[in-house]
């Protein structure tokens, strides 16, 4: 999958899609925050932040506990991303790029189990844009029942170091992944970024994407649903740091949980 050449402007996005939903009552997003001034030939630190208000971290994840840590070089090569401890409320990850170009970093958390009471779970489904699960619970007459959920997280970040080669539009095989269809480092305020959502390698239709920038509070700056091709347009409202996030949930057949959720974020910096 290569980056598309065409850009879109705000006018193509219906205003109704820019309405933000309230923050989820369940869970924290996990973001990988790239350095603002990374250089080739020097170690690059990436902050793993966990919280409700992007990019503020409420607790420091342990990067050594991540199930998978990877970075993709500008030449497409895959490497292990180093766990580099913790600093204040951030987990630290590190890699050393040899050349300029575009790099991708990503982690995968170990699945965890949680049990929520009926009211909390139903609120979570509404807040995170998961009406298909709410309707399924209603159909199965489970709306007044607690829910056992297994969840895992798959944050990814794009890092531009100088100029040069690199393909930010390449899927890297995460269970749930937001893939840009245009190089975000070529965009500016007022443009839109077309993205595709992949779930286990297949385009995910009707996924509820949210986008956020620092200072916009706990609710996302806006939301939009993917089309039949798993694609959506995300507005670029300002330069510098921004993230795109998504929670997807499926019905499970396991003995210890009925539902399985997958959380992902895609974080990058629009050049000033």
Separation between Cα atoms, residue 69 and residue 172, nearest integer Å: 12
pLDDT given at position 18: 32
Residue 85 included in any domain: yes
Whole-structure pTM value: 0.90
Convert the pLDDT of each residue in 168-223 to its tens digit: 999 999 999 999 999 999 999 999 999 999 999 999 999 999 999 999 988 889 99
Residues spanned by the domain of 105: 8-267
Q: Domain total for the chain?
A: 1
Residue 214 included in any domain: yes
Q: What percentage of the chain exceeds 70 in pLDDT?
A: 90
Residue 159 included in any domain: yes
pLDDT given at position 164: 74
Residue 2 included in any domain: no
Separation between Cα atoms, residue 149 and residue 220, nearest integer Å: 23
Cβ-based neighbours of 256, under 8 Å, separated by 6 or more:
113, 148, 150
Residue 3 included in any domain: no
Residue 248 included in any domain: yes
Where is average pLDDT lowest: 5-19, 136-150, 188-202, 224-238?
Answer: 5-19
Residue 14 included in any domain: yes
Mean pLDDT, residues 128-147: 95
Whose tokens are 């385009």? That residue is: 203
Q: Which of 198, 157, 158 is nearest to 178 (CA)?
A: 198
Question: What value, to the nearest 5°, has the Cα angle with vertex 67 and ends 63 and 73?
Answer: 75
Separation between Cα atoms, residue 208 and residue 19, nearest integer Å: 12
Contact between residue 25 and residue 123 where contact means Cβ atoms under 8 Å apart: yes
pLDDT given at position 226: 98
Residue 174 included in any domain: yes
- Phi and psi torsions of 15, nearest 5°: -60, -30
Convert the pLDDT of each residue in 217-253 to its tens digit: 888 899 999 999 999 999 998 889 999 999 999 999 8
pLDDT given at position 13: 34
Separation between Cα atoms, residue 10 and residue 6, nearest integer Å: 14
Separation between Cα atoms, residue 272 and residue 263, nearest integer Å: 29
178 strand-pairing partners: 197
Where is average pLDDT lowest: 35-44, 90-99, 241-250?
Answer: 35-44
pLDDT at 12 over 90: no
Residue of higher predicted confidence among 26 and 76: 76
pLDDT given at position 1: 53
pLDDT given at position 253: 87
């Amino acid at each position: 999958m290569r980056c598309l050449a065409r850009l879109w402007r705000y006018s193509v996005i219906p205003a109704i899609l820019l309405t933000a939903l309230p923050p989820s009552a369940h869970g924290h997003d996990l973001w990988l925050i790239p350095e603002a001034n990374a250089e080739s030939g020097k170690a690059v630190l990436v902050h793993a932040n966990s919280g409700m208000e992007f990019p503020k971290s409420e607790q420091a994840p342990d990067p050594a506990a991540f199930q998978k840590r990877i970075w993709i070089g500008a030449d497409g090569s895959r490497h292990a991303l180093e766990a580099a401890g913790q600093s204040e409320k951030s987990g630290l990850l590190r890699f050393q790029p040899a050349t300029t170009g575009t790099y991708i970093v990503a982690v995968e958390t170990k699945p965890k189990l949680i049990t929520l009471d009926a009211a909390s779970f139903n609120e979570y489904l509404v807040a995170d844009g998961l009406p298909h699960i709410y309707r399924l619970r209603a159909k199965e007459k489970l709306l007044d029942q607690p829910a056992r959920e297994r969840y895992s997280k798959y944050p990814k970040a794009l890092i531009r170091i100088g100029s040069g080669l690199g393909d930010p539009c390449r899927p890297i095989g995460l269970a749930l992944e937001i893939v840009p269809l245009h190089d975000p480092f070529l965009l500016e305020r007022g443009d839109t970024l077309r993205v595709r959502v992949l779930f286990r390698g297949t385009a995910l239709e009707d996924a509820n994407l949210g986008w956020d920038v620092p200072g916009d509070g706990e609710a996302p700056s806006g939301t939009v649903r993917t089309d039949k091709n798993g694609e959506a347009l995300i507005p670029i409202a300002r330069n510098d740091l921004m993230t795109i996030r998504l929670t997807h949930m499926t019905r499970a057949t396991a003995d210890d949980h009925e539902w399985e959720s997958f959380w992902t974020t895609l974080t990058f910096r629009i050049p000033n």
